[in-house]
Amino acid sequence: MEKICVAVRLRPPATQDSSGGTFWKVDENRVSLHKVHGTPISGVSYAFDHVFDETCSNSRVYDLLTKDIIHAVVEGFNGTAFAYGQTSSGKTFTMNGSDTDPGIIHRAVRDVFERIHMMSHREFLIRVSYMEIYNEEINDLLAVENQKLQIHESLERGIFVAGLKEEIVSNAEQVLKLLEAGEVNRHFGETNMNARSSRSHTIFRMVIESKEKDINANADVIRVSVLNLVDLAGSERIAKTGAGGVRLKEGKHINKSLMSLGNVINKLSDGAKNRGHIPYRDSKLTRILQPALGGNAKTSIICTIAPEEVHVEETKGTLQFASRAKRITNCAQVNEILTEAALLKRQKQEIEELRKKLQGSHAEVLEQEILKLRNDLLQNELEREKLETELEEERKSKLNNLGSVDTLSDFGGSSCQPQDSGRQSLKEECNDSISKSQGALFTTPSSKAAPNAFVAKRSNYSPLPSFSPLPDAFSNVVDEDTWMKMNKGYIADLDSIQMTPARKVQSFPPSDATPGNSNENHEQEVQNLKRQLELAIEERDDLKRKHDEQVRKHEEQVLLNNQLLSEISELQQEAQLIREIPQRLGECAATCKDIYVDVLSTTQSYISDEKSSVAKLLSSITEIGTSLFTTLEVDFSVPIADQRSWIQEQHKVLSERLSNTVKLLVSSETVNSEDGQARKSQECAMGGDAASWKEKLSNELNTIKERHHDLAKELDSHNQLLKNSKQRYEILETEFQLLKEERDSLHKAASESSERLLLITEQKENIVNYMKEELQRRKDLEEKIKQFSVAFCNRKTSLMSFHNEFKSKVESLKAEYGVSVPKSSNVVQ
Ligand code: ADP
Ligand code: MG
C-alpha cells in the first residue's frame, strides 16, 4: 500500500501585475497564501510531497516526481502521471514542455528506452497509443478514422479501449514522431485550439511487455505493465451559457469527466471504511484510469497553479483537490501473466519463424523488417478485435430485443434478465450466457477466452473492498455540488488565454491520415508489399552487381594466368636449350679431335722414315692432342652456341700453324737428302731443330691447356646460370600454383554468391506469398462477417414472422375470448 504522490507547481506570472493584495509563497514542500506585506493568511497553507516554484524546470519535476514511476513501469508495475489544474496554469507545459526544456512525456519515453537497454537479460515489446477524450467521446490520435471508440473490459486485458490503434515501437525517436503526428491529428480542422485543448483530456499510453531472455528461467511468465501520461482538461468551470450550442455541450461533458474524477478522488480519499461505492463508471476518463486511481498502479499527480490574483479562488480549489488526492492509497504490484493476452507471447512463434526466414539479411534490415511485420500482425489483431466487438454489440442489441419478446410472451422463459437493471456488468454476463445458449450462429470466435487460472498474478485488488471498485451503473448524474465546492466558479475566457504550443500543428491533414476503410487498408497493405518487393529487388540488384564485379575480377585473373603460362613455357624452352648446350659442346670437342687427328695423320704421311725423331715427336704430339681433345669432349659442356664457331676457328688456326710447321719440316728434309754428305752433322742439326720444334709444340700445348682452363671456367659460370634459371623457374611455378588456387577460390565464391542470391530471392518470394496469404485470410474473415450479418438478418426476419404469427394468434384469442392482452407493439422494431 502506498500513497499517491502529489505535487504542486506554480507557473511564472504571465504579466508583471503587482496590483494584487495577495501572493502565493513556496517554502520547501509547502505553499501558502500571503498578504502583500508578508503576513500569511491563516487556513490557506498546504503541504505536499513536492512544491515546485516558478523557477523550477521540467527536468527537476521529472526527476523528483515521475522518474521512479517510469523505472517501476519498466520493472512491471503499472504507472500513471496526471497533470491537473485550471486552463493556462501549465499542465501542457509540464507534460509536453518546450524545445529547450522537454516535458515529462518526452523524458519518460527516453528514460524507458534507456532503462530497457540496461536490462539486457530481458526481452521487451513496447507498444504505444495516444487518445483524446473530447465531448465524452474517445478519439484515436494515432488514427483519425478511429473515432468514438468504446471501452471494454475482459478478464485477460482488464479495461481497454476497443479498436484503439497501438503501434509497436523500438526506440524513443519513433515514439516522439508518433506523438507529433498525434498532435497534428488532434488539431486538424480546429478553429480555436485553445478551446479544444482546454476541454479535452489526452492520454498517452505505453504498454510494456517483457520476459526473461534465458529460456530456462520462467519463460512462460510475461510481465505486462501500462504507463499512462495524462494531460487533463482545464479544471475551471466553463460557462454553460457561453457561446452557442456546441460550446454548451462541450462544457457539460468536460464537467462530467472532470467532475467524475473529482468525485472518485473524493470518495477514495474518504478512507476505506466510509468509502462505499466508487463511481468509476460515471465517465470515460475515470473508467479508463480506474486502475491508476484505485488499485494496481504507482500514481503521481502534478497540480499546476497560476500565480495571478485573479485566479486565487481557482487555485484554492486546485489545492483542495490536491490535498484530497494525497490521502489516496494504492497497491501496486508487478503484473505477471501466463496467458495469451501478452502480445509478446502471441507473436513469439510468428516472429521466430520470420527470424528464420530472414536469416542471412543484415542485422538492422532484419530488425526493421521484424518490427514492421510485428506491427502488421498487431494491426490485424486490433482490426479483428474491433470487428468482433462491433459484432458483439450488434448481437447484444439483437438479443435484448429477443429478451423483451421472451419476457412478454413468457416464451422460452429466460431466467437471465438482470434483477438489478443498474448492474450493467451483470447484464453483460447474462448476455454472454444467452449468446452461448444460442448455438454456434451467435458465438463470436474469441482467441482470448481463457480460464481464470491462467492469470498468474494480475492486480488482486478486486477482492479487497478498501480499494476495490465494484462495477457501477453508468449514470449521467454527477455530483455537481462537490464540484462547485471544489471549483469556485472561475470562468475561463479561452480566447484570451495563452497556451503551450502544440508540438507541431498543421492546418491540413497528413497525407496518410485520411479516414480509411477496408479498401484503403488493403491498398496500404499492397503498398507495404510493394515496398517490401522493392527492397528485395534492390538487394538482389546489389548482389548481382557484386557478382558481376567478381566475374570481371575472375576474368582479369584468367588473363594474367595465361600471360604467366606463356612466359613460363618460354622459360622452359630456354631452359631446354641451356640443358642442350653441354651436349653440343661435347660434340664440338669430338669434331675438333677428329680434325686434329686428321691433320696429324696427314703430317705423318709426309714423313718417310717412320723411325725418325720427327715422326716419333709427331706421334707423341698426336697422342697428347688426342687425349687433350678427349678430355675436352668429356668435360666440355660450355652452353653458349656461339662458342662452337669460335672453337672451330681456333682449331683452324691451330691446324694451319701445324701444317705450316710440317711444310717447313718437309722442305728442310728434302734439302738434306739432296746434299747426302756429313750425315752426322745433319743429324745434329736435325736434333737442334727437333728441340726447337719440341719447344714450340709444348708452347702450343700450354696455349691449348690455358684455353681448356678458360673454357672450363666458362662452363662453371654457365652452370651457375642454369641453376639460377632453374630456381627462377621454380619460383614462377609456385606463383602460378598460388594464382591457380586463388582463381579456384574466386570461382567458388562466385558460385556461392549466385547460390545465395537465388536463396534470398526465394526467401523474398516466400515472404510475399505469406503476406498474400495473410491478405486472403483477412478477406475471408470479412466474408465470414458478412455471412454472419446475413444470418442475423435471416434470424430477425424469422423472428418478425414469428412475432406476427404470435400477434395474430393473440388477436384471434382476443376475438375468441374477449380478454384483454398486454400490448406488445414496442417489442420488435
Ligand atoms: P494549460 O495546459 O494548463 O492550459 P499551458 O501549459 O498551455 O497551460 O501554459 C500556459 C502558458 O504558460 C504557456 O504559454 C506556457 O508556455 C506558459 N507556462 C506554463 N508553465 C510554465 C513554466 N513553468 N515556465 C514557463 N512558462 C510556463
Ligand atoms: Mg493544455
Q: Hey, what long-range contacts does 582-586 have (CB within 8 A, 24 or more apart)? A: 582/636, 582/637, 582/638, 582/639, 582/715, 583/637, 584/641, 584/644, 585/636, 585/637, 585/638, 585/639, 585/643, 585/644, 585/715, 586/633, 586/634, 586/636, 586/637
Q: Which residues line ligand 1 (CB under 6 A)?
A: 11-12, 85, 87-93, 198, 234, 304, 498-500
C-alpha cell at 212: 526473461
Q: Is residue 472 within 8 Å of 278, Cβ to Cβ?
A: yes
- Cα separation, 193 vs 505, whole angstroms: 10
Residue type, 280: Y
Instruction: Kindly give the interhelix angle for 613-635 and 679-817, rounded to the nearest 10 degrees.
Output: 10
- Cα separation, 529 vs 669, whole angstroms: 122
The pTM of the full predicted model, rounded to 2 decimals, is: 0.53
Residues 6+ apart with CB under 8 A from 317: 235, 486, 487, 488, 490
**Please, how many CA atoms are within 13 Å of residue 91, restricted to the half-sphere of its CB?**
27
How crowded is residue 475: how many other Cβ atoms within 10 Å of its Cβ?
12
Q: Is residue 344 within 8 Å of 211, Cβ to Cβ?
A: yes
H or E segment and range at residue 134: strand 122-134
Q: Could you identify the atom of ligand 1 that is nearest to the CA of residue 304?
A: 3
Looking at all shown ligands, the one closest to residue 235's CA atom is: 1
Q: Could you identify the atom of ligand 1 that is nearest to the CA of residue 85?
A: 3
Residue 372 CB burial class (10 angstroms; 0-12, 13-18, ≥19) = middle
Where would I find the beta strands (DSSP E) of 275-371? 298-305, 329-330, 336-337
Residue 144 vs residues 130, 174, 250: alpha-carbon distances, Å: 11, 19, 20
Q: Is residue 177 within 8 Å of 310, Cβ to Cβ?
A: no
Q: Which pLDDT belongs to residue 70?
A: 96
Where would I find the beta strands (DSSP E) of 167-256? 167-169, 201-212, 222-231
Expressed in angstroms and rounded, the spacing between residue 179 Cα and the centre of ligand 1 is 19
Looking at all shown ligands, the one closest to residue 91's CA atom is: 1
Q: Which residue has the cell 754428305?
A: 677
Q: Which pLDDT belongs to residue 447?
A: 30
Q: Which pLDDT belongs to residue 493?
A: 56
Expressed in angstroms and rounded, the spacing between residue 95 Cα and the centre of ligand 1 is 10
- Residue nearest (by alpha carbon) to ligand 1 atom 1: 88
Looking at all shown ligands, the one closest to residue 492's CA atom is: 1
CA 75 to chain centre: 23
Q: Which pLDDT belongs to residue 686?
A: 54
How crowded is residue 184: how many other Cβ atoms within 10 Å of its Cβ?
21
Quick one: DSSP state of residue 49?
Answer: S
Expressed in angstroms and rounded, the spacing between residue 316 Cα and the centre of ligand 1 is 19
Q: Which pLDDT belongs to residue 445?
A: 28
Expressed in angstroms and rounded, the spacing between residue 24 Cα and the centre of ligand 1 is 17
Mutate which of 8, 9, 10, 11 for ligand 1 pocket (most atoms within 8 A of beta carbon): 11
How crowded is residue 506: how many other Cβ atoms within 10 Å of its Cβ?
12
Where would I find the beta strands (DSSP E) of 53-93? 79-85
How crowded is residue 55: how many other Cβ atoms within 10 Å of its Cβ?
9
Q: Could you identify the atom of ligand 1 that is nearest to the CA of residue 95?
A: 6
Expressed in angstroms and rounded, the spacing between residue 69 Cα and the centre of ligand 1 is 24
b (16+ CB within 10 A) / e for 430-453: bbbebbeeeeeebebeeeeebeee
- Cα separation, 603 vs 656, whole angstroms: 12
Q: Could you identify the atom of ligand 1 that is nearest to the CA of residue 14?
A: 12
Q: Which pLDDT belongs to residue 643?
A: 56
Residues 6+ apart with CB under 8 A from 807: 824
How crowded is residue 421: how many other Cβ atoms within 10 Å of its Cβ?
10
- Cα separation, 79 vs 94, whole angstroms: 17
How crowded is residue 5: how many other Cβ atoms within 10 Å of its Cβ?
21
Expressed in angstroms and rounded, the spacing between residue 32 Cα and the centre of ligand 1 is 21
3-state helix, strand, coil in the chain (%, to 5): 60, 15, 25
- Vertex 86, ends 81 and 90: CA angle to 5°? 60
C-alpha cell at 793: 438478418
Residue 615 CB burial class (10 angstroms; 0-12, 13-18, ≥19) = middle
Mutate which of 51, 60, 93 for ligand 1 pocket (most atoms within 8 A of beta carbon): 93
Backbone φ and ψ of 42, nearest 5°:
-65, 145
- Cα separation, 96 vs 231, whole angstroms: 9
Mutate which of 499, 503, 505 for ligand 1 pocket (most atoms within 8 A of beta carbon): 499
- Cα separation, 105 vs 231, whole angstroms: 10
Q: Is residue 1 within 8 Å of 329, Cβ to Cβ?
A: yes
- In the chain, count of helices (H) and strands (E)? 19, 17
Q: Which pLDDT belongs to residue 429?
A: 34
Expressed in angstroms and rounded, the spacing between residue 497 Cα and the centre of ligand 1 is 10
Closest-CA residue to 261 (of 432, 82, 44): 82
- Residue nearest (by alpha carbon) to ligand 1 atom 5: 90
- Cα separation, 232 vs 202, whole angstroms: 6
Q: Is residue 768 within 8 Å of 792, Cβ to Cβ?
A: no
Residue 146 vs residues 135, 141, 207, 515: alpha-carbon distances, Å: 15, 8, 19, 8
Q: Is residue 395 within 8 Å of 442, Cβ to Cβ?
A: yes
398 by DSSP, 3-state: which? helix
Residue 685 vs residues 30, 264, 608, 680: alpha-carbon distances, Å: 156, 162, 18, 9
**Please, how many CA atoms are within 13 Å of residue 800, restricted to the half-sphere of its CB?**
7
Residue 176 CB burial class (10 angstroms; 0-12, 13-18, ≥19) = middle
- Cα separation, 69 vs 6, whole angstroms: 13
**Please, how many CA atoms are within 13 Å of residue 226, restricted to the half-sphere of its CB?**
23
Expressed in angstroms and rounded, the spacing between residue 623 Cα and the centre of ligand 2 is 132
Give mean pLDDT in consecutive 10-residue pieces for the chain, a chain of 829 residues.
90 76 91 89 93 96 96 93 93 94 96 94 92 92 91 79 91 95 75 72 93 73 90 73 47 69 81 74 90 80 93 91 86 68 66 64 69 81 79 74 46 34 34 34 29 34 32 38 47 60 44 46 68 75 80 83 84 81 79 83 77 77 79 64 60 69 62 51 56 80 83 85 86 87 89 89 90 91 90 90 91 81 46
